Amino acid sequence: MKLEMTERKERLLCAIVEKYIETGEPIGSKALVESLGMSVSSATVRNEMSDLVSMGYLEQPHTSAGRIPSSAGYRYYVDRLMNKYELSQNEKRVIETQLFKVSGEPQKILEQAGNILAEITNCAAVSTTPSDESAVIRRIELVPIGTKTAMVVILTSSGLLKSKVCRTEAEITLDMVESFYNMTMTHFIGKNVSNMNIAKIQTLAVSLGEKFFVMTPLLVTLCDLAEMTERTELLLEGQSNLLNHKEFESNAYEIMEFLRRSEPLNQIFTKNVEQKSDKFSPNVLIGKENLFRELQNSSMIFSKYFIGGRESGTLGIIGPTRIDYARLIPSLKFLTDIVGTILSDNIDE
């Protein structure tokens, strides 16, 4: 016999998920009947619940306990049953004012967004700085600090500013500074960031003559900076929130360390480029759906933000699977939209 989903099963699944999210305790048949005010008996519900277990939507911690949703159960709930919470005007306003309080570099804004997100979700929040392969170098500055040191500054069209101190092997003369500006002006300014790489530097180095010892370190530093602007940076906020969830009691260290090593997160964000069916709905990865072992007891919700219509970075949260999807998905959505707007405003006008 093939088990098929019925409307009543859906109602039960939905109630179980929501109640479990609320209480964190396994849900029994009797309590369920009561809280739903159903006109059937607990035995009937028991049969249905048993079916839901067979279908893979529920699990039992042990034989004589209630049921809890499985990853698939949460998935079904998120995709088909969930009643999305609508943020109130007031909530929106609070978020907006908190976010508009900071201004300046994208990092600061993303950091603040992460803080807000961490606070309203009680989860860890993560964000990536805007990456933009089509970014163009807008400006390069050389700020002499000592006779043999200078600070090199780069600014891209996406508003990213990076700087690094560089140490040369010979004195930096005014003449050198001028050569440097000339060289960057003709070869890099207005060009794509990826255009500035070691290979390119090497071809330029050939014709440097006696300026080699000053220019090479400067150009290499420039390369470093270019690479830094291309490499997205990962910002993490509110990790300690995870300690509030009892599901992380035993393995808090594992998850925190996992978050600290930013590469895996970056992988997740770039792999899931294909935004689900609806491009405007955040990605949700629930429990076992996560490829990394360390996350298989957790859920991630993340969403791209757009700068000037182009997918530029990610904003997301990480928490236990038992998380208020109905509220948090729209919240994240709202926040990514604002962040996109603010960052877009900073650039083109």
Partner DNA sequence: AGTTAGCACTCTAATAGCGTGAGTGCTAAC
Partner DNA sequence: GTTAGCACTCACGCTATTAGAGTGCTAACT
Q: Which residues bind a second copy (CB under 8 A)?
A: 103-105, 138-139, 141, 143, 145-149, 151, 153, 155, 159, 161, 163-165, 167, 239-240, 243-244, 252-253, 256-257, 260, 346-349
Q: Which two tokens stand for residue 203?
A: 């071809």
The torsion of the CA quartet 173, 151, 231, 253, rounded to 10 degrees, works out to 140
The partner in contact with residue 139, picked from DNA, a second copy, none with C-beta cut-offs of 5 to 8 angstroms by kind, is a second copy
Residue with smaller CB distance to DNA, 61 or 146: 61
- CA dihedral sign, ordered 320, 325, 327, 331: positive
What is the rounded distance in angstroms from the CA atom of residue 191 to the CA atom of residue 165? 23
Spatial CB neighbours of 185, under 8 Å, sequence gap ≥ 6: none
Is 31 an interacting residue with respect to DNA (CB under 7 A)? yes
Residue 79: name its binding partner from DNA, a second copy, none (Cβ under 5 to 8 Å by kind).
none
Structure tokens at 300: 């991630």
Please list every residue from 51 through 90 that binds DNA, using CB under 7 A.
53, 60, 62-67
Interface with DNA, residue 287, by CB under 7 A: no
Would you count residue 3 as binding DNA (CB under 7 A)?
Answer: no
Closest by Cα among 163, 301, 318, 303 to 236: 318
Using the contact rule CB under 7 A, the part of the chain among 38-46, 212-220, 225-233, 328-336 near DNA is 38-46
Alpha carbons 348 and 346: distance in angstroms, whole number: 6
Q: Which residue has the tokens 């690479």?
A: 227
Which residue(s) pair with 127 in the sheet?
235, 315
Of 72, 97, 121, 49, which Cα lies nearest the Cα of 325?
121
Q: Which does 62 bind (CB under 5 to 8 A by kind): DNA, a second copy, none?
A: DNA
- Judged by CB under 7 A, does residue 44 bind DNA? yes
Task: Identify what 30 binds: a second copy, DNA, none; CB under 5 to 8 Å per kind.
Answer: DNA
Nearer to DNA, 50 or 115 (CB): 50
State in angstroms the smallest separation of the CB of 123 from DNA: 25
Residue 27 or 166: the one with the smaller Cβ distance to DNA is: 27
Q: With contacts defined by CB under 7 A, how many residues of the chain interact with DNA?
A: 24
* Strand order across the beta sheet in which 149-156 lies: 137-144, 149-156, 161-167
Q: CB nearer to a second copy: give 282 or 313.
A: 313
How far apart are the C-alpha atoms of 127 and 232, rounded to whole Å?
10
Phi/psi region, residue 5 (left: phi>0; alpha: psi -120 to 50; beta: rest), is: beta
Smallest distance, DNA to C-beta of residue 246, A = 12
Binding site for DNA (CB under 7 A): 26-31, 39-44, 46-47, 49-50, 53, 60, 62-67
